[in-house]
Structure 1
Amino acid sequence: MTLSSRGGLLIGAAVGSGIAAQTAETGGADLLLAVNAGRMRNMGAPSIASMLPCHGATAMTDAFAAHEILPRVGIPVLLGVNCWDADFDADDVVRRVAEQGFAGAVNFPNATLMPRGMRQLLDRAGRGFRCEIDCLARVQAAGFTALYYCGTKEHARAAAEAGLDMVLLNFGWNAGGSLGHSRRASLEEVGLVARDYAALIRRLHPGVRILLEGGPVVSAEDLGHVAGVAALDGYVGGSTLDRLPYEESVVNRIASYRQAGDHHEHLTRQQETLLRWGQRHGLVGRAKPFRTFLEELEAVSGAGRSVAVTFEPGTPLRPVLSAIDRRGATAPQIDGAEDHGTRIAQRLFGRDLPSGYEDGLLTVPDGEAVVLRDIHLALPAAQRRLARSLASGILVTSRRRRRMKVTARCLFVFERSAQEPAFPAELHPELAALLSGWTVRVPPLRDRIADIPELIEALAERLDLPKGRVPSFTPGALQRLRRHAWPENEAELEALLGRIVGRAPEGEVSGNAVGRLLEAPDRSEEPPARGSEMERRRIVEALWRNDFHRGRTAAALHMSRKTLYNKMTRLGLSD
């Protein structure tokens, strides 16, 4: 049987239920693969469960393929064939395909997806990849379609020599989603390997059709990237066509229902005025913890005395300082972690000179705000002197004992998590007593999750993003943002926005995309890899692709075994 595409690549779907098959046909799939992995996904298990001894693969596949899929679709259906059954018989496979009306067969579950050691055991038992190729060759000889799952160069050569007309290059289980595997190979690596395998197969069997499945290829963009490197005839989607879209769809639908029931709390005129006051200083949000914070902030801003602010890492401090004091955002700063003791004392208290007194920040004539970061790291004597000067409003100079009026307003800031006490243990008790009751804690982002959409809009406006570049999120994506812990607070949200804008997404950003971006490490501040590090990564990836067989790895890297051994020893990979 000859399969035809509706245009462009031949698209197949590995399914496990009637609804998945019908939806795939409606979406334009050219063929279906009825395989037990699809059934396991429909049962809520990961695809890899299809390889485990937890059920009879043949009985399971035959049942749903014949009764759920064949009666409901009009496109070709390939039956998943398990060669590991105790009573497996290739001729019986041909008979089942013919009698039940399947278009052909595909080897699934298969040896390709097994670890190398298990593949060797299956080969020795006569149930490995050669048994699968022989079975599919008989199916093809009987006039049906045979699709061979291929994962190594040895398998590719054997399939081509057997004359199989369709070969599916598989690069492992799909990444992404709640049950997906982590990526171990990049799209570039998959493209290069696929190109090498395809060239080998076509050299031995020019009429073959080569399809791709699995690994890091999750989206249409991923497929286009790989297809640009390797000449492919088609693509088969498993998790990418049923599990991932289903997860995204259901999450979006439930999240949208939940949002439909989320009524904005009716705010009083006084609360609305408070929010506008915060917005003038760059403080955006409406959540209850944030409103409570704004109330406290407004109260201390009008007091005119020294106050303390505690915040978690990644929280923007400039708007808070601006709200407390109109000069706070641009006020001079003293950092207890960076300035040594003598410098802190001179900057704060000034010093006596033969010609007179040099004012410090506490006693400048016009008076101004002074931001003191982590002052608990300063010398205890300096902390005590500062506390007594602020409490009395008088600074007594150290030598001539002059009495100077304190004109500055001190804004103390401490980076503290919500689980820690407001003040560090090293803060002098007199300073702690002075600031007690006059401390404002900025709520972390995880306590005001409802403000995230508004914060994203404010970030986009502050960054002057064109309107067309401001991302919109699906309900599922917003739900994913709300579930995140945000350990780096607004700084992490801004970094996420940068990743999204940098990828120039079309349409709404999905929950799966948000999940991948939140988990992606930020390498912008990492130093560039040295030549030896890049070479080490290249060898490790090649070893992994070749099951750590050093001879095959050397051939893949186009070097001799001796050269590979020497490089591995030099790079610390010989053990």
Structure 2
Amino acid sequence: MGEQGLFIKWITVSDMSDDGLLIGAAVGSGIAAQTAEIGGADLLLAVNAGRMRNMGAPSIASMLPCHSATAMTDAFAAREILPRVSIPVLLGVNCWDAEADPGSVVERISEQGFAGAVNFPNAALMPRAMRQLLDRAGRGARCEIDMLARVQAAGHVALFYCGTKDHARAAAEAGIDMILLNFGWNAGGSIGHARRASIEEVGLVARDYAALIRRIHPRARILLEGGPVVSADDLGRVASIASLDGYVGGSTLDRMPYEESVTNRIASYRLAGSRQIRLTRQQEKILRWGAGHGLIGRSNPMIACLEHLEALSGTARSVAVALEKGTPLGPVLSALDRTGRDAPQIDAAGEPAAHVSRRLFGRDDAGGHEGGLLTCGETVVLRDVHRSLPSLQRRLARSLSNGALVTSRRRRRMRVTARILFVFERAADEPAIPADLHPELGAHLSGWVVRIPPLRQRIEDLPALMAAIAAKAGLADDALPPLSAGSMQRLRRHAWPGNEAELERVIGRLAARSSHHDVSVTDIDGLLDAGEVAGTGFERSSELEKRQIVEALWRNDFHRGRTAEALHISRKTLYNKMARLGLSD
């Protein structure tokens, strides 16, 4: 047994040091191996999944018959990794190979200088039906355990990828000293998998498996990999629930950091090469004017919008504003009319037509006339009037065009003194004036419509908007964690369907994070997803329960008995819940 074997054997069977968890990296190239060693990794796993990631394919491609796993791993592991690192390297062993033989595996490990072996590719990452087929063929988890037991008996290190409780029990009974609890392919990154289990669920399962293993084999060292654990914070949360001896990173240590690094570099070069927009004095004046009303941004669409708003602000005529959902209306109303932000508002879509009519035109009855907002001499904000009755729209159009209101009962003529600011919630690809607006009202507003560009059309204003929103919320300058160039680029590429309202949610989530760690692209993806979910309203309890059951079924290969056990309910209760939620089929 070489120095690598002695070293790794010592650190896995002795008490853990003050350095914390044992950290392993599953790699597929010399540069990934060297970088992992520099970063402080304790051991390396040379596996074909690492090579597939280096080729631009997802890790799951390592399970497909597109390459010979044995030939691929042997070639790069011995040629690229062993000569370039001094830390222990475990060779990925493919037990599905028809020519796989424990004796030849031990011989290859000894001759080439590997510290030991790891079962990869393995049955733990296969669906339950496929695992059963492999077991019947004698090439499943039992074969992998027997292979690693021979490796360990020869004085080398054996690391077993474990995916089920039965596998954990069998590995412990075989005396395997290092058992890696794998929770599936990593979530996150550009080609990562969807998150199926929560961090807390992973922690509880890991605690359960670890307790089982240590009852049978107290000296075993238990490591963790995969699933939703994609950051140090995630690992810390799991370790606070389950007692772990180490962590192995695959995509989290070679694919995702590489994506993040290259993204950041290219994004920073792009930002460095962008030229500052030269603004005229008039434009600078417009920007100051807009900022005074809370309209932030220096992009061309924003400058054009501000110029239009300033032109319309000088008129007493009624005008229309078209804007997307989530765009703040207050600053726009303030820009059009200093009193507009606090002006009385009527929601024609949410109020009964009779109520809208009375508020606008007043009431004329036997007791006399009660004045409405049209004759109050103030600014009035009228939302979505096209949702009201056509007769009301026609009367409003004629009153505004004639500058006079004729009362319904006494036929008294009254001067219209109000300025109406019509507001329509319209997507950028929709006409600013709704098609179902009464033609006479549409003709009155024609040419007097200002369109507020959505956030995605003025994305270069994003940093300034974020700073303004944070300041308005009373956050300190250092309250938000730093964003890398790649993270900011990810925000720039987001469609922002919820506009500033969605951006406020993201900033709120950023403020809840620690300000001591940079926010990664993967972190941003999670924040945006959370924001989009929040934008749809709170999830009903039945929907949440249904989703939890579906995810538990998925994790347990749709075996209802194991699903009920995982949910801590009886099988009968599970059946009743599934029937109630429409999941019986």
Query: TM-score, normalised on structure 2?
Result: 0.94
* 2:173 corresponds to 1:161: yes
Shift of 1:301: 0.4
1:522 aligns with 2:555: no
| Aligned partner (choices 504, 512, 515) of residue 502 of structure 1 | 512
- Cα RMSD of the aligned pairs, angstroms, is 2.0
Quote the offset at 1:263 in angstroms.
1.6
Paired residues for 1:341-380 under 5 Å: 341-354=353-366, 356-364=368-376, 367-380=377-390
Query: Aligned residue pairs: how many?
Result: 572
Correspondence for 1:323 among 324, 328, 335: 335
SS at match of 1:215: coil
Match of 1:451 in 2: 461
- Aligned twin of 2:145: 133
Measured against aligned partners, the alpha-carbon deviations of 1:329-364 in whole angstroms (never above 9, x if no partner) come to 111112211232322222222233445432211112
* Counterpart in the other structure of 1:430: 440
SS of 1:304's equivalent in the other structure is coil
Q: For residues 573 and 365 of structure 2, what CA distance do their matches in structure 1 show?
A: 72
User: Are 2:486 and 1:489 equivalent residues in the alignment?
Assistant: no
Report 1:455-474 matches (<5 A).
455-474=465-484
Query: Does residue 338 in structure 1 map to residue 350 in structure 2?
Result: yes
1:99 paired to 2:102? no
In the alignment, the residues of structure 2 paired with residue 57 and residue 69 of structure 1 have an alpha-carbon distance, to the nearest angstrom, of 16
Q: Which runs of 5+ in 2 are unaligned?
A: none
Partner residue of 1:26? 38
Whether contact under 8 Å (2:481, 2:513) holds in the other structure is: no
Query: Are the equivalent residues in 1 in contact too, given 2:25–2:43 (CA < 8 A)?
Result: yes
Aligned partner of residue 247 in structure 1, secondary structure: helix
The reply on whether 1:208 has 2:211 as its aligned counterpart is no
AA aligned to 1:281 is: H
Change beyond 3 A, Cα 1:527–1:483: closer
C-alpha distance 370-536 of structure 1, shift in aligned 2 (>3 A):
closer
Q: Paired residue for 2:232, among 220, 245, 253?
A: 220
The percent identity for this pair of structures is 72
Give the corresponding residue for 2:91. 79
Query: Which range is displaced more, 394-403 or 18-27?
Result: 394-403
* Secondary structure, counterpart of 1:319 in structure 2: helix
Partner of 2:266: 254
Deviates more, 1:486-495 or 1:549-558: 549-558
SS in structure 2 at match of 1:143: coil
Partner of 1:190: 202
Q: What is the rounded CA distance, in whole Å, between the counterparts of 1:284 and 1:3 in structure 2?
A: 61
Contact kept, 8 Å, 2:480 with 2:510, in 1: the verdict is: no
Q: Call closer, same or farther: CA 1:396–1:548 in 2, change over 3 Å.
A: closer
Please list the CA deviations of residues 414-452 of structure 1 after superposition, one character each: whole Å capped at 9, or x if unmatched: 111121112112212221111111110000111000001
- CA displacement at 1:264 relative to structure 2: 1.5
1:47 is aligned to 59
Matched, 1:119 2:131: yes
Deviation (angstroms), 1:186: 0.8
1:487: Cα distance to partner?
1.1
> CA offset at residue 198 of structure 1?
0.8
**What SS does structure 2 have at the residue aligned with 1:169?**
strand
Q: 1:549 — aligned with what? A: 559
Distance in 2 (alpha carbons) for counterparts of 1:527 and 1:172: 29
Which of 421, 427, 452 is residue 442 of structure 1 equivalent to? 452
In the alignment, residue 262 of structure 1 is paired with which amino acid?
S
Which residue identity is paired with 2:106? V
Query: Could you tell me which amino acid in structure 1 is paired with residue 501 of structure 2?
Result: A
- 2-11 or 517-526, larger mean C-alpha shift: 517-526
Change (3 A) 1:177 1:194: same
Q: Which amino acid aligns with 1:167?
A: I
Secondary structure at the counterpart of residue 183 of structure 1: coil
Encode CA deviations 1:102-154: one digit per residue, 9 max, x unaligned: 00000000111011111111111111111111111111111100100000011
Does 2:488 align with 1:478? yes
Contact 2:189–2:522 (CA under 8 A) maintained in structure 1: yes
TM-score, length basis structure 1: 0.95
Aligned match of 1:289: 301
The correspondence for 1:413, drawn from 423, 448, 455, is 423
For the residue of structure 1 that corresponds to 2:507, the secondary structure is helix
For residue 277 of structure 1, report the CA deviation from its aligned partner.
0.2
Determine the C-alpha separation between the residues in 1 that align with 2:255 and 2:524. Answer: 17
Between 152-161 and 521-530, the greater mean CA deviation after superposition: 521-530
Query: In 1, are the aligned partners of 2:290 and 2:306 still within 8 Å (CA)?
Result: yes
Tell me how far 1:495 sits from its aligned partner.
Answer: 1.1
Unaligned runs of 5+ in 1: none
CA shift in 2, pair 1:271/1:572, >3 Å: closer
Give, in angstroms, the shift of residue 199 of structure 1: 0.9
CA 1:394/1:554 → structure 2, altered by over 3 Å: closer, same or farther?
closer
Work out which of the residue numbers 18, 21, 24 in structure 2 matches 1:9. Answer: 21
**Residue 504 (structure 1) shift:** 3.6
Deviates more, 1:330-339 or 1:440-449: 330-339
- 1:303 partnered with 2:315: yes
Conservation of the 8 A alpha-carbon contact between 2:482 and 2:515: no
Structure 2 CA distance, aligned partners of 1:226 and 1:342? 59
